[in-house]
Structure 1
Amino acid sequence: MPSNLTRFEAEWVEPSDAVRDVVDTYWAVHWQLPLHEAVTQRIVDFPAITLSIESGDVPAPFVVTSVRPGAWSRVIRGSGSVFAIRLRPAGLRVLSNLDAAALLHEQELTHELDERSHRALHAIAAGSSVLDRAATADEIIRQMLQDRPITSAQILANSAVDALTASARVRSGRSIAAGIGTSERSLQRALRATIGIGPNEVARRMRLQEVIRRLSSPGADAAEIAGEMGYFDQAHLINEFRSVAGMTPGQYLRDVQRSLEELHLTPGATS
């Protein structure tokens, strides 16, 4: 394989304003590795459900993915591509008849599993490029939203994730609920119905995403980050990270860096 041949490309596309309550982002990756070569990626999930269109060396053509209880690994081999729709909490009910709480962590999205979302992904897959697929998805989802408007519970779940995105500090489910003007029980029901996990777990995932982002910056200081994010101390941060990822933040970042180097990328190349 020529040394200048692209091994891995990643791209993010913002949804249109008409579907921002349903879609967080569209993302796409394309890879082409030499025969017999494999790269293992270590992943801590963002707290969201994702629908994806996949081709090449992949598990299935259409996949629905929910939040896993801990960090997980995906092995990249051969060549392939993924176009994914990362949903806002309100998105699953608009695009499907699936039950968030009953989803497997990753499963093939067949016509039999859910006809509504399968039909949408089939139409989006006809696009010839990432931008074509994103534009098609915008229009299809806009129509689906007219057919199935967002409910008050879904708006509540979206608001909770927005609040946690704005400030990923350590907070209890009760304080999160109070901050958006609802009860902890109502928030619990709304998030479990839309994402499949409760507010404390959503908050934990948002914090870990922010920890990873901050620690990836040059000169990052873990103790300083722990204080800014409301942890008791650096050990508290490390223990919470280990409880989800099964390793310390430093070990996780080294694994990510190794994967990027194997794919001939730098950390900034995929953001």
Structure 2
Amino acid sequence: MGLDTFRHVTTSASAGRTAARDDIERAHLVDPTDRTWSIARAAVSPDLADLARRFWIPVWDVPAGRDSVQRVLQYPVCLIVVSDTYARLYGVVSGLSHTMLTGRGWAVGIMLQPAAGHLLTAEPVRRMTDRHVDLTTVAAVDGAALTQGVRSAMGADPTAPEAQARAREVVEDSLRALLPVDDEGLLVNAIVEDVETSPELLRVDDLCARFDIGERTLQRLLHKRIGLGPKWLIRRRRLQEAADRLRHSGAELAGIAVDLGYADQAHFTRDFRMATGMIPGEFASRFR
């Protein structure tokens, strides 16, 4: 399908959908009682919009003898994360992502666009699913210089807005070498954006129809560019939306299940528990 065609499709399909990018907390299954960390977030520069979504910069101070587990239903994108102890490119996590915070520390992370993983690795991103590599092994960027620049910026005071801004500039300057994003990358960005912002989209064949693309072609495209298939993509969006509704509304579980396209509440409960390790009621009770 041509670039002009999919631009028309995504423009037409966007009418009446939920606002894009109003989803920063949707994936993070945060424990509201955990006060050992904070996260600063920032948009990327406009010229990088096809390549990256946003920055997040966590800073933590966990008392001795304790730990803080961060659980995330990750978005269908790769991540670059630089901390004071490691620098990595992460592939998409198919299940629940766990990060253990201990002691004092910080990290500078950038959530990439679906197009970016293949541009960084020059291979099908399915090879990165559920794994990470050291940033210095990624040939498309100077991982050593990027890491050194971020650590130099953040070293004195990782909570300072000026330090965080300098660190973001280092990351962005490194990524600009990947521009412009190719047409296939723009297409996969548009497909993922459509799934993430269209709660009524529940079937793969409906997604194929929107983009005038065959299911096998779509399957190959998504495995190449994000590492997982269209069924996973739709299921992940539903689970993120479920977590958001459970966090912010008093809706009945049966109603949430119906709205998200589940056959019944039991199917919804099983799917949510398999993905998060908690039943929906247990998760919702943390925010009451």
Structure 1: tracts of 5 or more residues without a match:
1-5, 258-266
Decide whether aligned partners of structure 1 residues 220 and 8 sit closer, same or farther in structure 2, where only a CA change above 3 A counts.
same
**Shift in Å at residue 27 of structure 1?**
0.7
**AA aligned opposite 1:36:** G
Is 1:143 aligned to 2:167, yes or no? no
**Shift in Å at residue 141 of structure 1?**
2.2
**AA aligned opposite 2:153:** G
Map 1:33-44 onto structure 2 (within 5 A).
33-44=62-73
8 A Cα contact 1:191 1:197, kept in partner: yes
Question: Among the aligned pairs, what percent are the same residue?
Answer: 26
Deviations 1:60-87 (A, max 9, x none): 5112222333224332210111111111
Q: Any idea what SS the aligned residue of 1:11 has? A: strand
8 A Cα contact 1:62 1:121, kept in partner: no
TM-score (norm 2): 0.75
Aligned mates of 1:173, 1:120 — CA distance in 2: 42
Structure 2: tracts of 5 or more residues without a match:
1-34, 155-162
CA RMSD of aligned residues (A): 2.4
Decide whether aligned partners of structure 1 residues 42 and 227 sit closer, same or farther in structure 2, where only a CA change above 3 A counts.
same
223, 227, 230: which is aligned to 1:199?
Answer: 230
87, 108, 111: which is aligned to 1:62?
Answer: 87
Is 1:77 aligned to 2:106, yes or no? no
Aligned mates of 1:11, 1:63 — CA distance in 2: 20
**AA aligned opposite 1:127:** A
TM-score (norm 1): 0.80
Moved over 6 A (4+): none
**Shift in Å at residue 50 of structure 1?**
0.8
Aligned mates of 2:223, 2:115 — CA distance in 1: 11
For 1:88, the equivalent position in structure 2 comes to: 113
Q: Any idea what SS the aligned residue of 1:27 has? A: strand
Aligned mates of 1:120, 1:248 — CA distance in 2: 44
Decide whether aligned partners of structure 1 residues 168 and 124 sit closer, same or farther in structure 2, where only a CA change above 3 A counts.
farther
Is 1:32 aligned to 2:56, yes or no? no
Map 1:149-228 onto structure 2 (within 5 A).
149-169=180-200, 171-228=202-259
**Shift in Å at residue 97 of structure 1?**
3.5
Deviations 1:188-235 (A, max 9, x none): 112111111011111111111111111101423322222222222322
Map 1:111-130 onto structure 2 (within 5 A).
111=136, 113-117=137-141, 118-119=143-144, 121-122=146-147, 124-125=149-150, 126-128=152-154, 129-130=163-164
34, 40, 62: which is aligned to 1:11?
Answer: 40
Q: Any idea what SS the aligned residue of 2:56 has? A: strand
Aligned mates of 1:209, 1:120 — CA distance in 2: 35
**Shift in Å at residue 170 of structure 1?**
5.5
Count of aligned pairs: 243
Q: Any idea what SS the aligned residue of 2:76 has? A: coil
8 A Cα contact 1:8 1:30, kept in partner: yes
